[in-house]
Amino acid sequence: MSANAYELLKSEIVSGKRKPGEIFEEKRFAAQLGVSRTPVREAVLRLAREGLLVVMPRRGTVISNISMENIRQLYDARVMLEPQILRIAAKRADKNTLASWKAFFEAQAAQADAEVTPLPFPNEDAAQHSHDADAAFHLFLAHSLGNRYILQQMEELMAQSQRIRSLSNARRKSRYLASIQEHIRIVDALLQGDGERAATEVLEHLHNSEDGYRRMMLEDAPDMIQMY
């Protein structure tokens, strides 16, 4: 039961349904789920360890704020971790699934101007880990290593990335399209088994994403972030 409370609450935070600085009421949430406060408390403590909630003794629990420093640290961590993931994934990731991801991204680019049903993800594991295509792709690559510790790290990092993205009221179309092409270049390198080129491509993608997120947060959601 605590797992259900954790997954639901995490989803609400990551999706932006629960805003930074908002008070979280354990009692109300438990009543909504029809459970005792024990599994909710366990979920709160787990999400606090992941940096999504802040528990203040005798004051309550709030959704954590996002700062520009948070964004910097998030991308510092991804820059240190993901190039090596890509080098190994070039040898281990399933080539058929990679080809399906390339087709997925090409279809995304083709329908960018259309209001259509979201495309299904190429692999079920990705869909289980995230409802966000960008996060699902990066988690697929991490999953291909077969290392649960690395996958756990990536799940936490991608949750934070999704959260920042969801807080932008208006997605920048130019950055969205550029990101799709960056993913296609990453997949091309992986399909060729070129881990070094894949690592270079993912570094460019991460640097561009960090810059794009900073701009989005400053211009689209300035009231939801801290500058420090």
Average pLDDT estimate for 211-226: 68
pLDDT at 2 exceeding the cut of 90: no
Predicted pLDDT of residue 228: 42
Number of domains, the chain: 2
pTM of the model: 0.81
| Whether 79 and 90 share a structural domain | yes
More confident residue, 10 or 214: 10
Is 93 within 8 Å of 193 (Cβ atoms)? Answer: no
Cβ distance 10 to 3 under 8 Å?
no
pLDDT digits (tens, 9 = 90+) for 62-94: 999 888 888 999 999 999 999 999 999 999 999
Higher local confidence (pLDDT), 201 or 25: 201
- The partner residues of 62 in beta bridges, in order of sequence, read 23, 54
Q: Are residues 121 and 29 in the same domain?
A: no
Domain-ending residue, one of 16, 47, 64 = 64
- CA–CA separation, 97 and 58 (whole Å): 50
Q: Which two tokens stand for residue 212?
A: 């794009």
Give pLDDT, residue 65. Answer: 86
Range of the domain at 49: 2-64
Judge if 23 and 126 occupy the same domain. no
Contact 199, 86 (CB under 8 A): yes
Q: What is the CATH number of the domain that holds 21?
A: 1.10.10.10
φ/ψ bin of 40: left (φ > 0), alpha (ψ from -120 to 50), beta (otherwise): alpha
How high is the pLDDT of residue 130?
55
Residue 155 CB contacts under 8 Å (≥ 6 apart), including other chains: 129, 139
pLDDT tens profile 152-192: 999 989 988 888 877 764 456 778 889 999 999 999 999 99
Tell me the helix, strand and coil percentages in the chain, rounded to 5: 70, 5, 25
Asked whether residue 98 falls in the same domain as residue 138, the answer is yes
Give the angle 46-212-214 at the CA atoms, nearest 5°. 60
Same domain (yes/no): 125, 34: no
Residue 227 reports pLDDT greater than 50? no
Same domain for 106 and 178: yes
Residues 140 and 169 both lie in one domain:
yes
Structure confidence by residue, pLDDT tens digits, 101-155: 999 999 988 887 655 456 677 765 554 555 688 899 999 999 999 999 999 999 9
CATH number of the CATH domain containing 86: 1.20.120.530
213: confidence class by pLDDT, cuts 50, 70, 90:
confident
In the predicted model, is pLDDT for residue 206 greater than 90?
yes
Around 210, how many Cα atoms within 13 Å sit in the side-chain half-sphere?
A: 19
Paired residues of 225 in beta bridges: 66
Q: What are phi and psi of 56, to 5 degrees?
A: -110, 110
pLDDT of residue 169: 47
Cα 137 to its chain centre, rounded Å, is: 10
Residue found under tokens 């080129």: 197
Residue 61 has pLDDT above 80, yes or no: yes
